[in-house]
């Protein structure tokens, strides 16, 4: 293990790359992708370990490691991250030992150093991805020309949230995969994709408000696809940022109620759903739904959609943007814009009733002594 003077801090704050590779993933080298992840995790990349810097990460340049495994490794000096077959991926060593190991690794000797505890990514970081709301093993891999296409696909699949709507989960994966690949090839950034989704959102609202419902729905569907692409592109290329997250979620928050208002404006007088009362119920139900979701987070510290398996399943169709756009599309096709709007109203309030019931149920369970935690953690 590392010596006491090497462990003045419990978490590695510096990292060095060892080895080399010419393989690229999503048109980015594995080392550059790791560099972006480390920067986001506030771990500085240096050529040589700083003297007396405490624990240091030594990571193979041909490695792919998810954030959870990097974070866990950085907090465990004296640990080696290995694959299931025992191949070494990275180590967390005291700065003095790290200098010695760099010479060993430079000679191509990627064996687990003596005295280090070998752990796989799953053993280090588990199988609960809280950020993406799913059960998924923490991963690490060594990239070769032969396995690069498979790892690219695995990175894309891993970028998907586990609890999401039916459109995102079942309709978008293949189109989004192809679009993300094109964006990565031509250097299109996630924020540029998000900007395009903002334009599509505005065009949808304008079209709805002027009675061009089909044109508006086309724009709404384009926006929904772009909203999937930007997040996946950010994750596979490790270019996610706080600003991008705020930008993306800001559009997600504002666009739906603006669309529901615009659709009402596009209805002709006398059509079903054209009254101010219906508009008030639609917007009121939408706002109430958001307040219940936020109340659940404030009260229990987790999102309502990840509490129990029922909630995650209901998230597929609950009254959020994509399921609501499905209702409007089917309603417009079968019965016209007025009936489609009334169907939207009914689904918003039915979803709200279910969420209110689940919130009250969670309150009673906590009062009875039951811990409210996500089923994904089990």
DSSP strand E in 241-347: where?
Answer: none
- What pLDDT is attached to residue 9? 52
Considering the entire predicted model, what is its pTM? Answer: 0.89
Query: Distance (Å, rounded) from C-alpha 33 to C-alpha 152?
Result: 12
Which stretch of DSSP H or E encloses residue 94?
A: strand 88-94
Q: 3-state class of 14 per DSSP?
A: strand
Please give the CATH topology (third level) of the domain spanning 4-125: Spore Coat Polysaccharide Biosynthesis Protein SpsA; Chain A (3.90.550)
- What pLDDT is attached to residue 240? 86
Pick 162-377's CATH classification: 3.50.50.60, 3.90.700.10, 3.40.140.80, 1.20.120.1760: 1.20.120.1760
Query: What are the boundaries of each domain within the chain?
Result: 4-125, 162-377
Q: Tens of pLDDT along 199-238?
A: 999 999 999 999 999 999 999 999 999 999 999 999 999 9
Q: How many CA atoms lie within 13 A of 294 on its CB side?
A: 7
Contacts of 360 (CB under 8 A, 6+ apart): none
Q: Tens of pLDDT along 90-136?
A: 999 998 888 889 888 888 888 999 999 999 999 999 988 877 778 88
Please check whether residue 200 is in contact with residue 42, taking contact to mean a CB–CB distance below 8 angstroms: no
DSSP string, 300-319: HSS-GGGSSHHHHHHTTTSS
Beta bridge partners of 88: 82
Please check whether residue 372 is in contact with residue 300, taking contact to mean a CB–CB distance below 8 angstroms: yes
- Token code pair at residue 88: 């070494």
Q: Alpha carbon 17 to chain centroid distance? A: 26
């Amino acid at each position: 293990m590392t010596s006491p003077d090497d462990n003045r801090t419990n978490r590695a704050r510096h990292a060095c790359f060892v080895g080399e590779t010419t393989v690229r993933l999503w048109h980015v080298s594995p080392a550059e992708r790791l560099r972006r992840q480390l920067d986001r995790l506030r771990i500085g990349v240096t050529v040589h370990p700083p003297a007396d810097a405490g624990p240091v990460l030594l990571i193979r340049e041909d490695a792919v490691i998810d954030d959870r495994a990097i974070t866990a490794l950085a907090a465990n000096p004296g640990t080696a991250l290995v694959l299931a077959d025992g191949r070494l991926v990275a180590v967390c060593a005291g700065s003095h030992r790290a200098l010695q190991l760099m010479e060993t690794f430079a000679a191509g000797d990627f064996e687990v150093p003596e005295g280090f505890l070998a752990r796989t990514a799953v053993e280090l970081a588990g199988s609960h991805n809280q950020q993406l709301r799913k059960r998924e093993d923490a991963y690490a891999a060594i990239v070769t020309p032969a396995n690069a296409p498979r790892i690219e696909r695995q990175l894309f699949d891993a970028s998907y949230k586990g609890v999401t709507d039916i459109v995102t989960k079942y309709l978008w994966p293949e189109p989004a995969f192809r679009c993300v690949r094109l964006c990565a090839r031509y250097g299109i950034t996630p924020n540029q994709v998000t900007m395009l989704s903002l334009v599509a959102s505005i065009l949808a609202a304008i079209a709805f408000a002027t009675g061009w419902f089909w044109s508006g729905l086309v724009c709404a569907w384009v926006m929904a696809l772009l909203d999937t692409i930007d997040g996946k592109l950010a994750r596979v290329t490790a270019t996610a940022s706080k600003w991008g997250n705020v930008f993306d979620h800001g559009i997600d928050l504002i666009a739906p109620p603006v669309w529901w208002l615009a659709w009402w404006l596009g209805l002709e007088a006398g059509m079903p759903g054209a009254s101010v009362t219906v508009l008030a119920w639609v917007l009121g139900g939408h706002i109430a739904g958001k307040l219940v979701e936020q109340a659940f987070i404030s009260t229990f510290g987790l999102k309502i959609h990840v509490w129990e398996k029922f909630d995650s399943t209901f998230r597929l169709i609950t009254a959020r943007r994509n399921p609501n756009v499905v209702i409007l599309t089917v309603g417009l096709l079968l019965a016209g814009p007025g009936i489609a709007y009334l169907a939207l109203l009914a689904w918003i309030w039915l979803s709200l009733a279910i969420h209110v019931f689940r919130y009250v149920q969670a309150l009673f369970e906590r009062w009875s002594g039951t811990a409210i935690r996500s089923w994904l953690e089990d």
